[in-house]
Chain A
C-alpha cells in the first residue's frame, strides 16, 4: 500500500482538474490486483449466494460485525473490569488474565459441544455421548487456575526467600 498522502478532494483553492491517478490514490498495480481479486470474489460469490442469498450475506458480514462490535468489546471490557477490580495490585493481573483467556477461548470454540446443543445428533453419529465435555471444560479451567495459583505461590515464596537474602532485590516483573 502506498503511504502517499492524498489531498482532500474538497480543496477549493485548487483548479478543478480531473486526475484519475489522484482520485485513485494508488499505483496501477494496486488497481489491477484489486480488480483481479474482485473478479475472483464475484465468480465464487455468485455461487456462494446461490441459495439462501440473504442468509449467507448476513452470515458473511454479520460474522465480521459481531466480532468487531460485540466479541472484541466484550473481552476488552472484561479485561478492563479485571484491571479495575485488582486496582493497584497490577502484578496479579496476569495470574487471572491468562487462565481466564484460555478457558474463555475453549468455551468460545467448543460452545455447541459444551452446551450439548447437538447431543442427539452427536450420539446418533458417533455412538458416544458429548455429555462429558462440559465437565471436561470445567476440569481444564480448574487446572488452569490452580496452575496459575501455584505459580503465584511459588513466586511469592521465592521472592520472600530472595528478600531475606538481599533486602535490596525487588521481585521480578510479572509477565
Chain B
C-alpha cells in the first residue's frame, strides 16, 4: 500500500485521476452552449452552401447526357435533381465552384472549433441512455465522420494528393450524401436549441451542460476565442480567394493551389490544367499533319488549322473554371462557332449535342459530351486563338473547345474529332 501523502496535495492527486468521462476533466472556460451555438449556426449556413454548390457542380458536368461525363453512373435516385446546365451567366460555374472550394477552406477552423467545443460529449458516460440516444450517437458518426471525410478528400484533391481509397468523384459525391443524412438529423434535433440559446440565453435554473463545471481561470474570453476562429477563417480567405482571379489578386493568394503566380508572360499566361507534356501531346501531333474531323448526317469532313482560320471567326470573353475551385478571369477567345461546325455537319438549325474527342493520350475526360444548349450558344467556340495570339500548346493548340459556364474539364483541349448528333 502506498505511503499516505499529506492532505494538502490530495485535491491535486484527485484531479490527476480524472478521466475524460468525468466532466471535471474538461476545464477550458471557453466551452459553453452559446459558443457551440454560434459555431453551429455558422456551420449550418456554410455546410448547406457547400452541399448545394457541390450538387450544382455534379449537374454542371451534364452527367446524364453521356456516360463519358459521369463518374458516378450508379447514382440511382441521388441524381434526381439533375437538369440541363445553362450557359449563362458565363461565370456561373466559376462562381458556384469558387464558392464551394473557397468557403470549404474558410470553414475548416469553424469545424475544428465546433468539434472542440463538444468533445466532452464524446466521452460522456453512460455511452447511451436509451436506444434512441444510441441511434442518435450513431448518426453523429455519419455527421462527424462524413464532415471530416468530405473536408479531407476535398483538401487533398485540390492539392493533387490522391491518397484517398478510390476515385475522388465517387468518394466525394456519395460521401456528401452520407454526410447529409447525419447533417439533416443533427440540424433538426439541435438547431432549435441553438437558436433558443442565442436568442434567449440559457433559461434560469438550467445548467449550461457544455460549460466546464470546474473551469480554469480565463486566458481568453469566449468572444476572444470566436475572434481567433474568425481570424483563422479570414487568413484562409485572404490567402486563398485570389485563386479565382488573374493578376494582383492571385498574387495575394500566397498559400493555396494555383495561388501566387500565373505561368509565364504573354497572352497565354493564365492558369493551365494539364500541360501538353503531362498528357503526352507532341509537336508532331499538332503540327502540319493535324486535321480536325467533323462528323454528322452530312458526312465526315477534315479541316486543317488554316482552313478553320479561313472560316467565319467569332470572339467570346470567357473564363476557365476548374472543379478544384480555381479559375481565371475572362480571356478573349477567337475561333469558329460550334453551331457553324454543326451546320457543316448537317444541322443548319437547332443543332444537337456534340461528342468531343481529344488527341491527349491519358487523363479522364479525354472524351466529353456537350449538350444542345451548349452547342447553340453563340459564345461556344472551337477556339484557335486567345488574347490575340495563337493558343499555346498547354492551352490546347491547335484547337480547343470553350463553352460559357461549363466546368473547365469540358473545355476539351487538342481537339481531334467532333461528332454532332444524338448522344
Which residues of A approach B to under 8 Å, CB–CB?
A: 1, 5-6, 22-26, 30-31, 33-34, 37-38, 40-41, 43-45, 47-48, 50-52, 55-56, 58-61, 63-64, 67-68, 72, 76, 83, 90, 93-94, 97-98, 101-102, 105-106, 108-110, 112-114, 117-118, 121-122, 124-128, 130, 132-133, 136-137, 139-140, 174-175
Contact = CB atoms under 8 A, between A and B. Distances in A.
Contacts of A37: 139, 142, 181-182, 184-185
B166 A51 contact: yes
Contact of A41 (B136, B142, B159, B217): B142
Contacts of A105: 108-109, 112, 232, 235-236
A128 B161 contact: no
A121 B160 contact: yes
Interface string B267-293: 000011111011000000000000000
17 contacts: A25-B133, A34-B135, A47-B74, A48-B175, A50-B74, A51-B167, A59-B165, A83-B219, A90-B219, A101-B232, A102-B235, A105-B108, A106-B255, A126-B257, A130-B257, A132-B260, A137-B255
A126 B277 CA distance: 11
Contacts of B311: none
A72 B108 CA distance: 14
A38 B325 CA distance: 31
Contacts of B144: 64, 67
Contact of B255 (A1, A93, A126, A136): A136
Contact of B130 (A23, A124, A130): A23
- Among A38, A45, A59, the most chain B Cβ lie within 10 Å of the Cβ of A59
A125 B166 contact: no
Nearest to B177: A44
A98 B229 CA distance: 9
A73 B63 CA distance: 43
Contact of A118 (B105, B160, B165): B160
A68 to B, nearest CB: 6
A47 B174 contact: yes
Contacts of B112: 105
Given A64-B144, A136-B255, A112 B161 contact: yes
Interface of B: 72, 74-78, 105, 108-109, 112, 115-116, 119, 122, 129-133, 135-136, 138-139, 141-142, 144-146, 148-149, 152, 155-156, 159-161, 164-167, 170-171, 174-175, 177-178, 180-182, 184-185, 188-190, 193, 217, 219-221, 223-224, 227-228, 231-232, 235-236, 239, 254-258, 260-264, 271-275, 277-278, 394
A30 B261 CA distance: 52
A37 B217 CA distance: 41
Contacts of A113: 159, 255-257
B181 A93 contact: no
A82 to B, nearest CB: 10
A125 B180 CA distance: 32
B185 A33 contact: yes
A130 B254 CA distance: 11
Contact of B263 (A41, A126, A132): A126
A126 B271 contact: yes
A174 B228 CA distance: 13
Contacts of B232: 101-102, 105
Given A24-B132, A30-B189, A59-B149, A140 B255 contact: yes
Given A33-B185, A67-B148, 17 more contacts: A26-B136, A33-B189, A34-B139, A37-B185, A51-B165, A63-B148, A64-B144, A76-B116, A101-B228, A106-B236, A110-B159, A112-B156, A118-B160, A126-B273, A128-B258, A175-B224, A175-B227
B161 A118 contact: yes
A102 B139 CA distance: 31
Contacts of B275: 124-127
Contact of A59 (B72, B164, B184, B264): B164
A42 to B, nearest CB: 9
A133 B258 CA distance: 11
A24 B184 contact: no
B165 A140 contact: no
Contact of B174 (A48, A94, A110, A114): A48
A63 to B, nearest CB: 4
A102 B110 CA distance: 13
A64 B135 CA distance: 17
Interface hub of B72, B75, B132, B273 (most chain A Cβ within 10 A): B132
B190 A44 contact: no
